[in-house]
């Protein structure tokens, strides 16, 4: 079971002190062998976080990367090689916030290829908007995002999919159980043997509903992951 903490644009060096509570919790947690925790902080915290988590089973990832895997004149950008060099093992690509900022499926595809080439594992985000949901074209949207995003990528062992409906992120509203089960099932049929996570307003209050959906392989957690107590509560309730 995956628990991926997407810190988004949050955190300074002192913020790293909060992860000690999570590390301490895991040392005494009996389900430790069956879960995988990945922290994805801003790029400024990847190296110091990697050092703090050196002797733990927690991995560190990045939140995005540039599509070019060579150095170049791209002011303000960071590519997959640079992320790998400072300790990242994973990278989130295709997050809805970046899609809304202009990332196309074609660009996402190039980023995934670059990340895999550099030896990073990819957390590939897909999801529909509220308008698309109302039009009942969720599956068509996901089909397109998967098809274009993974175009000409034959080996998908290093890719985890995260279904995050755009209309759910930050709203506190999550899909109905039967709808979410069906959507996750659809995604798994598209990509055989691929892990599929759910992301979108995951918190301690709704985790009991989410954990009852048996085909979910874990969670991509935003705001709640910035608070160690909430993050620990989500993990504990998942296994209770």
Taking the CB of residue 213, how many other CB atoms lie within 10 A of it? 19
Report the share of the chain in percent with pLDDT over 90: 92
**Number of independent structural domains in the chain:** 1
**For this structure, is 66 an active site residue?**
no
Q: Which two tokens stand for residue 47?
A: 């190296």
Give the model's pLDDT for residue 196: 98
% the chain with pLDDT above 70: 99
Cα separation, 199 vs 187, whole angstroms:
14
- Is 24 in contact with 232 (CB distance < 8 Å)? no
5's CB contacts (< 8 A; 6+ apart) are: 37, 38, 39, 40, 221, 225, 226, 231
Q: State the pLDDT at residue 30.
A: 75
Q: Band of the pLDDT at 161, cuts 50, 70, 90?
A: very high
Residue 155 reports pLDDT greater than 90: no
Higher pLDDT, 92 or 32: 92
Q: With 80 as the cut, is the pLDDT of residue 33 above it?
A: no
Confidence of residue 223 (pLDDT cuts 50, 70, 90): very high
The pTM score is: 0.96
Range of the domain at 110: 2-239
If pLDDT is split at 50, 70 and 90, which confidence band does 32 have? Answer: low
In this prediction, residues 93-109 reach a mean pLDDT of 97
- Whether residue 127 is predicted with pLDDT greater than 90 in this model: the reply is yes
Q: In the numeric block, which tokens belong to residue 237?
A: 């309730």
Catalytic-labelled residue, pool 67, 97, 103, 164: 164
* Tokens (6 digits) for 102: 């202009």
Tell me the average pLDDT of the chain. 96
List the structure tokens of 169.
Answer: 């992120």
pLDDT at 53 over 90: yes
pLDDT-derived band at 171 (thresholds 50, 70, 90) equals: confident
Q: Is 164 a catalytic residue?
A: yes
Nearest-5° Cα angle at 98, 174 to 77: 145
**Strand ranges inside 97-195, DSSP E:** 121-126, 159-163
User: Which of 19-33, 173-187, 226-240 is the least confident region?
Assistant: 19-33
Two tokens at 98?
């970046």
pLDDT category at 162 given cuts 50, 70, 90 is very high
- Which of 19-33, 79-93, 114-128, 220-234 bottoms out in mean pLDDT, i.e. has the lowest? 19-33
CATH code (residue 223): 3.20.20.70
At 108 the pLDDT is 98
Q: How far apart are CA 63 and CA 61, in angstroms?
A: 7
Q: What are the residue ranges of helices labelled H in 118-159?
A: 130-134, 138-149
Cα(139)–Cα(125) distance, integer angstroms: 14
Name the catalytic one among 95, 97, 103, 128: 95
């Amino acid at each position: 079971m995956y628990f991926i903490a997407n810190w988004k644009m949050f955190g300074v060096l002192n913020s790293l002190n909060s992860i000690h509570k999570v590390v301490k919790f895991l040392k005494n947690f009996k389900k430790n062998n069956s879960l995988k925790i990945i922290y994805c902080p801003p790029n400024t915290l990847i190296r110091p976080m990697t050092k703090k988590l050196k002797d733990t089973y927690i991995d560190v990832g990045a939140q995005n990367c540039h599509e070019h895997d060579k150095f170049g004149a791209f002011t303000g950008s960071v590519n997959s090689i640079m992320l790998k060099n400072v300790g990242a093992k994973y990278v989130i690509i295709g997050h809805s916030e970046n899609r809304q900022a202009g990332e196309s499926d074609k660009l996402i595809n190039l980023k995934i290829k670059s990340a895999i080439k550099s030896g990073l594992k990819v957390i590939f985000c897909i999801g529909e908007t509220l308008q698309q949901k109302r039009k009942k074209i969720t599956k068509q949207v996901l089909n397109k995002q998967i098809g274009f995003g993974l175009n000409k990528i034959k080996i998908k062992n290093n890719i985890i999919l995260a279904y995050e409906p755009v209309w759910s992120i930050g709203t506190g509203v999550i899909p109905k159980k039967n709808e979410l089960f069906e959507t996750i099932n659809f995604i798994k049929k598209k990509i055989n043997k691929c892990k599929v996570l759910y992301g979108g307003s995951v918190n301690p209050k709704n985790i009991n509903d989410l954990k009852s959906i048996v085909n979910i392989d874990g969670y991509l957690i935003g705001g709640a992951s910035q608070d160690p107590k909430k993050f620990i509560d989500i993990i504990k309730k998942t296994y209770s």
